[in-house]
Copies of this chain bind each other. A is one copy, B any other.
């Protein structure tokens, strides 16, 4: 649609180490499980409450996947910017299910490390394929556009059949 925006911004911690898979033609796909939470005090009882939300984040970008592989592990705090995508899939029993994910892919996706626990220190990475004047640290070269477009426009069944949802 002309004139639409689909953006998710999360700051949270990885609940477990990243999982990196490869499509049949070798492109990497990283999956992160990110927790955000809010705390408040119940007015009636006075007890402290916390509600944690878990987000499934999927990264279709070769350079971002490398970053993820090298620097992120369980507990790392990250800032991510991506888009919402709901995907339909069929479980082993043949039941149709839906999974909503935060997808980082193409322009306007970002991943920034916010703590120093990773060896490489914090850093900010877009998923464009610039090359150009910007080196690996600022704007990491992304996967070939064909890969990105495939991810965006139609993740094929062959790639995703084995994709157990969040």
Specify which chain B residues have a CB less than 8 angstroms from the CB of A79 in the assembled complex. Answer: 3, 5, 11, 79
B-contacting residues, A43-95, CB 8 Å: 43-44, 48-55, 77, 79, 81, 83-86, 95
Given A1-B52, A115-B115, A122-B2, check contact A153 B77 (CB 8 Å). Answer: no
- Nearest Cβ on chain B to A4's Cβ, whole angstroms: 4
A139 nearest CB neighbor, chain B only: B107
A interface bracket (residues with beta carbon within 8 Å of B): 35 or more
Task: Give 1 or 0 for each of A115-131: 1 = CB within 8 Å of chain B CB.
Answer: 10000011110111111
- The count of identical subunits is 4
Cross-chain contact of A6 among B10, B43, B135, B148 (Cβ < 8 A): B10
Given A100-B86, A106-B139, check contact A3 B112 (CB 8 Å). Answer: yes
Interface residues of A (CB under 8 A from B): 1-13, 35-44, 48-55, 77, 79, 81, 83-86, 95, 97-100, 102, 106-108, 110, 112-115, 121-124, 126-139, 144-146, 148-149, 152-154, 165-166
Q: A1-B39, A97-B98 are in contact. List 16 more A-B contacts (CB 8 A).
A: A1-B12, A2-B39, A3-B79, A3-B115, A3-B123, A4-B36, A5-B112, A6-B12, A6-B53, A38-B124, A42-B149, A53-B85, A84-B100, A107-B126, A132-B145, A133-B149
